[in-house]
Structure 1
Amino acid sequence: MNKRTRLLVLLAVLALCFVFLWPSISWYGRTPKEMQQLALGSTENIKNYAELKAAEDVRAIKKMDLSATLTDEYAWLKKDVNKRYKTLDKKAPAELTWKDVLSAYDSELDFLTVFQTRYREQILKAKKYYENSVKLGLDLSGGMNIIVKADLDAALASMGDAVASENASDFKKEAMANAIENLSSRIDKFGLTSPVIRQQGDDRIYIEIPGAAQADAINTLIMGKGILNFRLVDTEATNAFKAYYAQNPANTFNALGELMDPSVIPDDCEVFGEYRKDEYGLDERYDWVVVKKEIALDGQHVKSAIVGSDEFTNQPEVHFNLDSEGAVIFGDFTGAHVGDNLAIVSDNKVKSNARIQTAITGGSVSLSGGFSYEEADNIKKVLQTAWLNVPLEVESQQVIGASLGEDSIRAGAKAILLGLGLILIFMLIYYKASGINAVVAQVLNLFMMFSILSAFNLTLTLSSIAGMILTIGMAVDANVLIFERIKEELRQGKSRPAAIAMGFDNAFWAIMDSNITTFIAAIFLSQLGTGSIQGFAVSLAIGVVSSVFTALFVSRLMFDFDTEVLHAKKVSIGWGIKQ
């Protein structure tokens, strides 16, 4: 490979690394703290914030002098307004007034949606930066990690004879999956920042929550049980509310999500959002439903739930069974409300809104509505929160303060900079001008390591920093081997080009052997180790690859550049070397 090709390869690698590192630069260096807090919230919180801020903006605009022109604060609206005027085959005025702006939109809700979209896109853009950046572990960012034990034997015992002994294993797997589903839903609703929730072993759940969180509140979420009930839908009130909301979207709810004018619905009713799972598996509100405050049937009467299919249409259905008391209550209620809609309400969210076709007696209920298998499975999981009771116990809990995490970051950065600085000073003193090659190689080595961490969305912990510091030493070792080989060739009277070529060739396999064995050890540690050991191993493996590249490729390119472009005749590589 000639010098020009190697230079192009190096530039391409550096450009690719910069692309990988850009989300991390944008998140940690260009995103304000307030925006970071919003982006780290749950999807539902982001949506609620966008709606709230949009409503505040629209209310403020309605109080303005409509003959006034747009200020710079709202200059971003001009593009959308011009687009809407063009759709109407009209030309937008050169100087837009608020009256001109409002006339471009069909309704207040249409105008409100533009503001919601702007706020949402700003936050989601920051959230995307975070998702594609290097994450900070709890030991650096602060937060909590919790290990919860699920008592699957107790859950099985509570079912009595309903579960056959040969199905016990399948029941425990389903109970465990349901417990994780419930915890994910509760913690995401609480608005916590990007929690990690995963199964650990057969009966334990690992929860990692970055950022500041109150331990008592988290424990309440974990130990609590979802609230499930069935309520009658007030169809007339629902239609009236949705018509009112379409006309007054900015003045319907306050910052707490409460109705600003409670009289828009009957006194015996409540309004809830109707939710479905989005493409990320999170609850997404898509409509509003007004339901009676009176609970028609409590979820504790649900005893089992499965997904089936209609025998004629083969459409997915959800079948669930009630206990004897619930069967009587449900039979009487459905018999009295044939033709009305019944909502399944879980934690103040409407998860299903089905029409009562006939009186349902006997305790065996089927829900159908033309939904997909995924939607049917989600409804089944909602029903399972009522009957599949898995006792949870917090086994261990560790809280790391944000200030301690900041101290760890400063200590880690100081260790890297100090170690790198001392090594580079030594290289410059001992190897003279050739030490500059080592300096550049080390800086590029760190740049590439952080880029790879960002590219794979890996987590940076104190143990990862330890792996980086070790890598710095190993990368210098490769440079030392090369420089000493070059010095040996120079002592034998070789010319600069010959000494450099022989030095790299002779040092190649010594460097590769040591780094390959280290890389193999790091791979085994990353696969077999857990926690901090795994973090150390991953950063070490990345560092091995990047250090070999910088030592053999980048350093060689710099030597050749001096030889062929700057026409250097001698090598400044140490004391007492005669050339």
Structure 2
Amino acid sequence: MNKKSRLITIIAVLAVCFAFLWPTISWYARTPKEDQALALSTLENIKDYSNFKAASDVKAMVAAAKADPETLVPADQEWFKEQVKKNYKLENKKYSEPLKLVDALNSFASKTELVNFVEGVYRKKILKNKDFYKNSVKLGLDLSGGMNVIVKADLDAVIANQGDTPYVEETLKAEAMAQAVETLSNRIDRFGLSSPTIRQQGEDRIYIELPGSAEADQINSIIQGRGILNFRLVDNEATQAFTTYYYNHMDSTFDSKGRLIDASVIPEDCVVMGYYTTDAYGLDQREGYLVVKKEVALDGKHIESAEVGAEDLTGKPQVNFVLDSEGSEIFGEFTGKHVGENLCIVSDDKVKSNARIQTAITGGRVAITGFGIQEAQNLRKVLQTAWLDVPLSVESQQVIGASLGDQAIKQGLLAIAVGLIAIMVFMLIWYQGAGVNACVAQVLNLYIMFSILSALNLTVTLPMIAGMILTIGMAVDANVIIFERIKEERRLGKDRASSMNTGFNNAFWAIMDSNITTFIAAIFMSQLGTGSVQGFAYSLAIGVVSTLFTTLFVSRLMFDFQTEVVGKKNISIGWGIK
């Protein structure tokens, strides 16, 4: 590869690395702590916060415009001005400058449209920060503090509970574990624990990693608690009245924890619950609110099985579930009394389905229709929570304090800094001018490593920091091999250009052999190892790739630039060598 191509390659790689590293820079250096805390909360909390802030802001705007019609739109609300200008342009109307707040409010068709717009601004900002976090280099539990838990699922109990029901054991176990993972994810997300890692480990264990501070008792209650699934009657008249009330009092209906402030707006025997559908990503998305009876019509424990089928005439998806004998009697009697009313399925205090009772449902076989295949699959999973009862127990639990994490971060960064500085000082003293090339290559080496970690969304742990420190030593070792070969050529009386070409060419395979063998070892460790061993292997493998690039591309280009552009004849590469 010629020098021009090498320069273009280096610039392109550094630019791509900066793009990879930008989320990490944005998250840790440009996002305030309070915005980080908000972005790390659950999507439901983010939506509630955005709704609350939007309603509050709109209420304050309306109050300010009524108090003084001459009030101007604040200068720091350019985002609001831009939307107002678009509204006037769509209506082919003109507005006066400076823009008055009352004119800005009147540019929106309704108060709801204004609230939705302001909510979108908050949502976009918070989700943008959340994306920065998702694509940034994250700190492991040994650095950030937190808790890791290994939960054991009693699959033997699941099989025993099936009784004489026909099933394929392996399929049942797989469904039970998938349901257990999903149930834990929903519970932990509901309690607002930030950025959890939840995955199946082996046949019957679930690994949970919770960064940040967490109460052990709270986690245990979440893990071992059972999801509550039941059927309740919907009060349509109360729902309609509450919906009207909510849209007129969006900022004062619920408190910060989602509790109803004025309980008198609904009947005493009812409760307000969010009505949720599942989006394409499998996340609960609240569509609105329903007022449902506190009395449970049918408990989910009576469900024996659930599956997705199709209607006989239309072929549209439907969810079929079977009740036990007691449940069949209860459900038949209840539906017979409430024909024409709406019955909802409640799971973990969320309404997951709302269907009209067309006729009395007897015989214990129930079919629910009126949705697409994806919604049908999601509802089946909800119903499985009741009949796939998977007993969970905490097998091991490790809590790491935040203070220990802070100390580990400082020690890790200090180790990297001391190691890097010590090597740079040695290279500058022993190899003089050529040592500068090695120092630049070392800095770029760490820069490329962190950018790749960010691109792969890997989590930085203490073993990974150990791999980075080892990489620093390996990188300088490659430079030492090259510099010593160049020195040998200079002692033979060759000129600068010939010495460098021969030195790099002769050192190439020695460097490649050592790094390739290290890379192979790192690959095997990453595949066969677990936990900290994998983290060390990942950083080591990434370090090998970045070392080869900075040594064979960056350092070589710097030597060539000094030779061909600056016009140097001698080479400062050691004591007594010119």
TM-score above 0.5, yes or no: yes
Number of the residue aligned with 2:139: 136
Q: What is the alpha-carbon distance in structure 1 between the residues aligned to residue 51 and residue 247 of structure 2? A: 13
3-state SS of 1:538 partner:
helix
Farther off after superposition, 289-298 or 407-416: 289-298
Farther off after superposition, 353-362 or 55-64: 55-64
Q: Is the 8 A contact 1:108 1:249 kept in 2?
A: no
Number of the residue aligned with 2:96: 93
What is the Cα deviation at residue 280 of structure 1?
A: 2.2
Number of the residue aligned with 2:163: 160
Farther off after superposition, 100-109 or 527-536: 100-109
What is the Cα deviation at residue 431 of structure 1?
A: 0.6
Question: CA, structure 1 residues 260+87, in 2 after alignment: closer, same or farther (shift >3 Å)?
Answer: farther
Indicate yes or no: 2:62 matched with 1:59.
no
Q: What is the alpha-carbon distance in structure 2 between the residues aligned to residue 533 and residue 324 of structure 1? A: 53
Number of the residue aligned with 1:552: 552
What is the Cα deviation at residue 388 of structure 1?
A: 1.4
3-state SS of 1:296 partner:
strand
Question: CA, structure 1 residues 267+39, in 2 after alignment: closer, same or farther (shift >3 Å)?
Answer: same
Number of the residue aligned with 2:252: 251
Farther off after superposition, 317-326 or 263-272: 263-272
Q: What is the alpha-carbon distance in structure 1 between the residues aligned to residue 253 and residue 117 of structure 2? A: 17
Indicate yes or no: 2:509 matched with 1:506.
no
Q: Is the 8 A contact 1:108 1:247 kept in 2?
A: no
Question: CA, structure 1 residues 279+66, in 2 after alignment: closer, same or farther (shift >3 Å)?
Answer: farther
Number of the residue aligned with 1:565: 565
Number of the residue aligned with 1:301: 302
Number of the residue aligned with 1:24: 24
Q: What is the alpha-carbon distance in structure 2 between the residues aligned to residue 552 and residue 424 of structure 1? A: 18
User: Could you list the per-position Cα deviations for residues 138-170 of structure 1 after superposition, in whole angstroms to 9, with x for gaps in the alignment?
Assistant: 111111110000000012112221245xx2221
User: Could you list the per-position Cα deviations for residues 267-295 of structure 1 after superposition, in whole angstroms to 9, with x for gaps in the alignment?
Assistant: 32222111111232111101221212221
Indicate yes or no: 2:287 matched with 1:286.
yes
What is the Cα deviation at residue 78 of structure 1?
A: 0.9
- The AA in structure 1 aligned to 2:380 is K
Number of the residue aligned with 2:37: 37
Number of the residue aligned with 2:240: 239
What is the Cα deviation at residue 66 of structure 1?
A: 4.3
User: Could you list the per-position Cα deviations for residues 114-157 of structure 1 after superposition, in whole angstroms to 9, with x for gaps in the alignment?
Assistant: 22111111110101111111111111111111000000001211
Number of the residue aligned with 1:363: 364
When the two structures are aligned, how many residues end up with a matched partner?
Answer: 575
3-state SS of 1:231 partner:
strand
3-state SS of 1:533 partner:
helix
Number of the residue aligned with 1:354: 355
Number of the residue aligned with 2:453: 453
Gaps of 5+ in 2: none
- The AA in structure 2 aligned to 1:499 is S
Question: CA, structure 1 residues 426+87, in 2 after alignment: closer, same or farther (shift >3 Å)?
Answer: same
What is the Cα deviation at residue 544 of structure 1?
A: 0.5
Number of the residue aligned with 2:75: 72
What is the Cα deviation at residue 211 of structure 1?
A: 1.1
- The AA in structure 1 aligned to 2:129 is A
User: Could you list the per-position Cα deviations for residues 227-280 of structure 1 after superposition, in whole angstroms to 9, with x for gaps in the alignment?
Assistant: 111111112222222233333323332223233333332232222111111232
Q: What is the alpha-carbon distance in structure 2 between the residues aligned to residue 260 and residue 396 of structure 1? A: 41
3-state SS of 1:193 partner:
coil
Indicate yes or no: 2:577 matched with 1:574.
no
3-state SS of 2:244 partner:
helix
Number of the residue aligned with 1:107: 110
Q: What is the alpha-carbon distance in structure 2 between the residues aligned to residue 501 and residue 76 of structure 1? A: 58
Q: What is the alpha-carbon distance in structure 1 between the residues aligned to residue 68 and residue 221 of structure 2? A: 50
Q: What is the alpha-carbon distance in structure 2 between the residues aligned to residue 55 and residue 254 of structure 1? A: 13
Farther off after superposition, 342-351 or 99-108: 99-108
Q: What is the alpha-carbon distance in structure 1 between the residues aligned to residue 118 and residue 254 of structure 2? A: 16
Indicate yes or no: 2:151 matched with 1:148.
yes
Aligned counterparts, 1:178-577, within 5 A: 178-369=179-370, 371-577=371-577
Q: What is the alpha-carbon distance in structure 2 between the residues aligned to residue 32 and residue 233 of structure 1? A: 43
- The AA in structure 1 aligned to 2:493 is G
Number of the residue aligned with 2:129: 126
- The AA in structure 2 aligned to 1:228 is L
Q: What is the alpha-carbon distance in structure 2 between the residues aligned to residue 503 and residue 565 of structure 1? A: 20
What is the Cα deviation at residue 351 of structure 1?
A: 0.1
Gaps of 5+ in 1: none
Q: Is the 8 A contact 2:52 2:250 kept in 1?
A: no
Farther off after superposition, 381-390 or 201-210: 381-390
Q: What is the alpha-carbon distance in structure 2 between the residues aligned to residue 74 and residue 17 of structure 1? A: 34
User: Could you list the per-position Cα deviations for residues 162-221 of structure 1 after superposition, in whole angstroms to 9, with x for gaps in the alignment?
Assistant: 245xx2221111111111111011111111111111100000000011111111111101
What is the Cα deviation at residue 73 of structure 1?
A: 4.3
Q: What is the alpha-carbon distance in structure 2 between the residues aligned to residue 497 and residue 204 of structure 1? A: 61
Q: What is the alpha-carbon distance in structure 2 between the residues aligned to residue 494 and residue 75 of structure 1? A: 66
Counterpart selection for 1:84 from 65, 72, 87:
87
Farther off after superposition, 261-270 or 187-196: 261-270
What is the Cα deviation at residue 8 of structure 1?
A: 1.7
Q: What is the alpha-carbon distance in structure 2 between the residues aligned to residue 70 and residue 388 of structure 1? A: 57
Farther off after superposition, 276-285 or 387-396: 276-285
Cα RMSD between the aligned structures?
1.4
Farther off after superposition, 517-526 or 111-120: 111-120
User: Could you list the per-position Cα deviations for residues 517-564 of structure 1 after superposition, in whole angstroms to 9, with x for gaps in the alignment?
Assistant: 111111111111110100101110110011011111111111111111
Q: What is the alpha-carbon distance in structure 1 between the residues aligned to residue 157 and residue 507 of structure 2? A: 64
Q: What is the alpha-carbon distance in structure 2 between the residues aligned to residue 106 and residue 269 of structure 1? A: 34
Q: What is the alpha-carbon distance in structure 2 between the residues aligned to residue 72 and residue 397 of structure 1? A: 52
Q: Is the 8 A contact 2:137 2:459 kept in 1?
A: yes
Number of the residue aligned with 2:4: 4
User: Could you list the per-position Cα deviations for residues 409-448 of structure 1 after superposition, in whole angstroms to 9, with x for gaps in the alignment?
Assistant: 1111100110011011001000111100100010010111
Q: Is the 8 A contact 1:427 1:435 kept in 2?
A: yes
Instruction: Report % sequence identity.
Output: 63
Q: What is the alpha-carbon distance in structure 1 between the residues aligned to residue 259 and residue 557 of structure 2? A: 66
Q: Is the 8 A contact 1:322 1:364 kept in 2?
A: yes
Q: What is the alpha-carbon distance in structure 1 between the residues aligned to residue 183 and residue 576 of structure 2? A: 72
Q: What is the alpha-carbon distance in structure 1 between the residues aligned to residue 575 and residue 221 of structure 2? A: 69
Q: What is the alpha-carbon distance in structure 2 between the residues aligned to residue 426 and residue 148 of structure 1? A: 50
3-state SS of 1:285 partner:
strand
3-state SS of 1:294 partner:
strand
Q: What is the alpha-carbon distance in structure 2 between the residues aligned to residue 451 and residue 344 of structure 1? A: 47
